[in-house]
Structure 1
Amino acid sequence: MVTDGRDHDYFPALNWIFGYHKKWVRLDVIAGLTTAAVVIPKAMAYATIAGLPVEIGLYTAFLPMLVYALFGTSRPLSVSTSTTIAILTATQLGQVVPEGDPVSLLSALAALTLLVGVILVLASFLRLGFIANFISEPVLVGFKAGIGFVIVLDQVPKLLGIHLPKGSFFYNLFNILQGLPNTSMATLAVGTLMVAILVLLEWRFPKAPAPLITVAAGIAGMWLFGLQEYSVASVGHIPKGLPPFIVPDFSLIERLWPGALGIALMSFTETIAAGRAFGRSDEPPVRANQELLATGLANVGGALLGSMPAGGGTSQTAVNRLAGAQTQFAALVTAGATLVTMLLLAPLIGLMPQTTLAAVVIVYSIGLIKPLEFRDILKVRRMEFLWAFTAFAGVVVLGTLKGILVAIIVSLVSIAYQTANPAVYVLGRKPGSNGIRGQPLNLEIRQKCV
């Protein structure tokens, strides 16, 4: 770890600023720009999941990224929003602003994001970072798979060019089947092409900024071939310039706090998981309580500029690390690229087909559904597979917010079960060899031993 010898607990940026090497500048700049090429299109796409204007995605990739870079402890972590947070936000906003009035929606969003930030900051002061150790991995696998199914189904109508009322998972599925005869073939063709481009790039050129290339292809197609004439809807007008100041609707706090608590939990869980996964041994360790503070402040600041709830993203952090990020300066570069996009490129982005954003969301949301992980869990322990499946079913059947409650309850039950029934192994020599292996102790024998 390179520092000036001091441990700046509440302002970790000073640690890497004082120990910054000139040779890192080029690596951080390249990593920051590369990550921006991935983050910006995905953030705009995730805004549409929540039923929000695409510029909200830009705002979310700007100030939260900037604030985290100053207060966070993970050097490669890239903070904006994620599919999980976006669908939870959509559910909560749909409950408090069911009519979808734009002004009411933005003030409700500001209140929700602010509340998420306050909860995270309060959790930091209460030293609740240890909670991350109690989130069951099998339960998280099931929960994210359920989220993936819900998001993909939510985006299918946009891929088909049809407009349908939204409800539960099975209600949406029934409506889509009924609406298939009204499919816009031109919209479907464009969407299918966008999905194919994304999948091909991710498969053959994994280091390429696939979302940016796909968005550019969609904009070029709309401009060159006049796709509007074939009923292919575009994103439309995007305001150019800095984000406006948004006054939160504090009257909604009482109705928003349960959902905000769930979003805060997922934001922290994803943040700490991504930060730990991509940290290096020669870097300062990721400190859970400081991560709570950093993401909390990122959300508080972002709320006033119309940001969605934010957290660390695994895929964008992976891109940042693989592109060579050495410090949080890379995140500052990503935030700077987002600012340039808001100031100069907003009119161009407005030409993008809606189905392009749907394609981006679908491709990256499918990544949340990992059947092989379910299989691996089943191989290791059948009970944990049942926990994962319960979390999955909770999201699909009950909805995302109630699904979080199911996931938390299942996690607590699983911890209690493992505590009451710890795995006990008998060590013995493997027949025909000098090796030693463990054999699970039969429950009946264990009881006799007791």
Structure 2
Amino acid sequence: MGGRILTTMRDDSSTRTVGRHLPVLDWIRDYRSDWIKPDVIAGMTVAAVVLPKALAYATVAGLPVQVGLYTSFLPMVIYALFGSSRPLSVSTTATLAILAGTALARVAPGAGEAELLRASATLTLLVGAMLTLAALLRLGFVANFISDPVLTGFKAGIAVVIVLDQLPKLLGIHFPKGGFLHNVLAIASGFPHASLATLTVGLATIVILVTMEHFAPRAPTPLIAVACGIGAVALFGLQSHGVEIVGHVPTGLPSLTRPDLSLIQSLWPAAAGIALMSFTETIASGRAFVKRGEPTPQPNRELVATGLANIGGALFGSMPAGGGTTQTAVNRLVGARSQLAALVTASMTLGTMLLLAPFIGQMPEATLAAVVIVYSLGLIKPAEFRAIITVRRTEFIWALVACAGVVLLGTLQGILVAIVVSLAALAHQVSNPPVYVLGRKPSTTVFRPVSAEHSGDETFPGLLLLRPEGRIFFANAGLLGQRIQQLISEADARVVVLHLRAVFDLEYTALKMMVEAERKLSERGIALWLVGLNPGVLAMVQRSPLGATLGKERLFHNLDQAVAAWQVQGAQGAAPSSSRDAH
């Protein structure tokens, strides 16, 4: 009996270990028969959303439309095998498409289709390799270095760039592409020469998309819009009216694509930025749609899954891939229960490659442009901007800076701007820790920051209670010391109490400055007391000259003890007064 139990435990442990390396075994083991129908329906519905958008995003990247199909096939299959998010749908996104297009335009300007596909395969392979390497180095935490406000601004900038890139196709005009201002002026000057038929097709597509998204949000709106565009070409002979179509789309499976290793040196910086955005979007989408009882996507496992998805996809003509928020939301809303839904979507993509490719070639370019514009505008979220500025104006400025960086400097430089702004924001926060003057709520043991809202809180003339928060180290100790000195001067204190409960670390340089500050205060007849030190900080203080100077008499467990000691000393022989009286 005991042997059977031990054997079962070993088998379960072995299964869990294998599951960690091949997550598909986890969801297959836990799969329930009543999930099949919702998974199949969700997978087919998502295919109707993904395929038109993938075709459109391939054109955004300057690639043939069939590359969008390839990206919606093999990467999605690989992620379903190795990814940990059950509803996540992986193909390409608007952000990844514009980043890839910018990178490819730099290394292969004016290249033919074959050369462009090799460059795209090289870029995608690099992205996958970087994601996989990041997983091996346990760098999943890196996604946290782009703050939400900065990411909001970055995506808004991406949307502006994409819309500006697609407007000429919507208008049926052509001009050499340049910087942001150049393109704006070129579109404005070319507008009087726009093709009326092309513009009509584009606007009709936008009306279909917007109307159906509002009145029938669960319908396969992009597929319907694309079908209408193809039908209009066949019924009205739109080509004879100057409406351009996609053209020939190869039928069949993608062929093996050999990367051009000579492009690695010129493509790796762009690949690093795309890898970061792919991972950021993937982990954000995966975490946003987790249901209770489902495993939460783990950053390093997601790095492995998206890395392998890009590596596998690169060898068969895919462009950079990652989790898409819109398609994942559709997948979840329609009822997806597991990664089987993604496999159904991939199967629909395979059927499209084998059977429907000729029909795709009859799609108007203006229809594709309209699909891209409508869904790219979804990257601009005014509600998020309003929420940011309501909470904190400084971070709203950071979001605007990230947006302007993408629009004015370019998408790849925009990534760098976004990262720099995020790191600068982090540096600003840690270099400027708050320090509060505390008072005591009457007839309680509650100490809280002195404010006009709590003007009746007790303070103690000659006793200054201060609470700094956060890590105190070489980068912020000087500024913190200056602020404390100013508060001491304003309060005319004889005893200064630093409540350090919220200080989780006291670095050597900061501790050395505190030793010097204590000496200077002592020379002025002001005593320094410390309260609420956590074990690590207390150990550092006790090992330093400050510990010997303070002794046990000036170290307290809590503020009540410090105030009681002050009152025992009979400071000024006065009772506590309100904060208004103290000043």
Alignment match, 2:32:
21
Alignment match, 2:314:
303
Q: What is the root-mean-square deviation in Å for CA atoms of aligned residues?
A: 2.3
Shift of 1:420: 2.5
Which is worse superposed, 372-381 or 20-29? Answer: 372-381
Aligned equivalents of 1:66, 1:330: Cα separation in 2: 10
Classify 1:423/1:351 alpha carbon distance in 2 versus 1 (closer, same or farther; 3 Å).
farther
- Asked whether 1:370 is paired with 2:409, we answer no
Aligned equivalents of 1:137, 1:189: Cα separation in 2: 38
- Asked whether 1:275 is paired with 2:286, we answer yes
Shift of 1:439: 8.5
Alignment match, 2:167:
156
Aligned equivalents of 2:485, 2:359: Cα separation in 1: 69
Classify 1:347/1:415 alpha carbon distance in 2 versus 1 (closer, same or farther; 3 Å).
same
Alignment match, 1:314:
325
**Structure 2 unmatched ranges of 5 or more:** 1-10, 442-446, 452-466, 469-479, 489-497, 499-583
Shift of 1:445: 7.9
Shift of 1:288: 0.4
AA at the equivalent of 2:426: I
Alignment match, 2:528:
none
Does the CA-based 8 Å contact 1:158-1:355 persist in structure 2? yes
Which is worse superposed, 287-296 or 174-183? Answer: 174-183
AA at the equivalent of 1:357: L
Which of 217, 238, 254 is 1:243 aligned to?
254
Aligned equivalents of 2:220, 2:436: Cα separation in 1: 48
Alignment match, 2:366:
355
Does the CA-based 8 Å contact 2:150-2:398 persist in structure 1? yes
- Asked whether 1:448 is paired with 2:487, we answer yes
Does the CA-based 8 Å contact 1:4-1:15 persist in structure 2? no
Which of 175, 181, 196 is 2:186 aligned to?
175
Q: Select the structure of larger CA radius of gyration.
A: 2
Which of 382, 403, 410 is 2:421 aligned to?
410
AA at the equivalent of 1:266: M
Alignment match, 2:493:
none
AA at the equivalent of 1:31: A
Shift of 1:141: 0.5
Alignment match, 2:516:
none
For 1:9, what is the secondary structure of its paired residue?
helix
Shift of 1:428: 9.3
Aligned equivalents of 1:425, 1:313: Cα separation in 2: 44
Aligned equivalents of 2:435, 2:210: Cα separation in 1: 45
AA at the equivalent of 1:156: L
Aligned equivalents of 1:386, 1:438: Cα separation in 2: 28
Alignment match, 1:433:
none
AA at the equivalent of 1:345: L
Does the CA-based 8 Å contact 1:4-1:19 persist in structure 2? no
Does the CA-based 8 Å contact 2:145-2:419 persist in structure 1? no
Which is worse superposed, 3-12 or 129-138? Answer: 3-12
Which of 354, 369, 373 is 1:343 aligned to?
354
Aligned equivalents of 1:216, 1:88: Cα separation in 2: 28
Which of 40, 53, 58 is 2:51 aligned to?
40
**Structure 1 unmatched ranges of 5 or more:** 431-435
Q: Which deviations, in whole Å up to 9, do the C-alpha atoms of 1:306-325 show, x marking residues without a partner?
A: 10100000010000001111
Alignment match, 2:343:
332
Aligned equivalents of 2:255, 2:450: Cα separation in 1: 63
- Asked whether 1:125 is paired with 2:164, we answer no
Alignment match, 1:9:
20
Q: Which deviations, in whole Å up to 9, do the C-alpha atoms of 1:318-376 show, x marking residues without a partner?
A: 00001111110110000000000000000111111110000000001111112232222
For 1:367, what is the secondary structure of its paired residue?
helix
Q: Which deviations, in whole Å up to 9, do the C-alpha atoms of 1:1-58 show, x marking residues without a partner?
A: xx96642112101001112111111111011001001000000000010111111000
Which of 261, 265, 269 is 1:258 aligned to?
269
Aligned equivalents of 1:438, 1:208: Cα separation in 2: 54
Classify 1:428/1:327 alpha carbon distance in 2 versus 1 (closer, same or farther; 3 Å).
farther
Shift of 1:281: 2.2
Does the CA-based 8 Å contact 2:58-2:68 persist in structure 1? yes
Q: Which deviations, in whole Å up to 9, do the C-alpha atoms of 1:67-103 show, x marking residues without a partner?
A: 0000000000000000000000000000001113211
AA at the equivalent of 2:101: A
- Asked whether 1:137 is paired with 2:137, we answer no
How many pairs align? 445
AA at the equivalent of 1:409: V
AA at the equivalent of 1:254: Q
Identity %: 63
Structure scoring higher RCO (CA < 8 A, sep ≥ 6) equals 1
Classify 1:191/1:15 alpha carbon distance in 2 versus 1 (closer, same or farther; 3 Å).
same
AA at the equivalent of 1:118: A
Aligned equivalents of 2:450, 2:239: Cα separation in 1: 66
Classify 1:437/1:183 alpha carbon distance in 2 versus 1 (closer, same or farther; 3 Å).
farther
Shift of 1:285: 1.7
Does the CA-based 8 Å contact 1:142-1:388 persist in structure 2? yes
Classify 1:24/1:447 alpha carbon distance in 2 versus 1 (closer, same or farther; 3 Å).
farther
Aligned equivalents of 2:437, 2:24: Cα separation in 1: 49
- Asked whether 1:53 is paired with 2:64, we answer yes
Alignment match, 2:213:
202
TM-score, normalized by length of structure 1? 0.94
Aligned equivalents of 1:439, 1:278: Cα separation in 2: 42
The 5 A counterparts of 1:75-86 are: 75-86=86-97
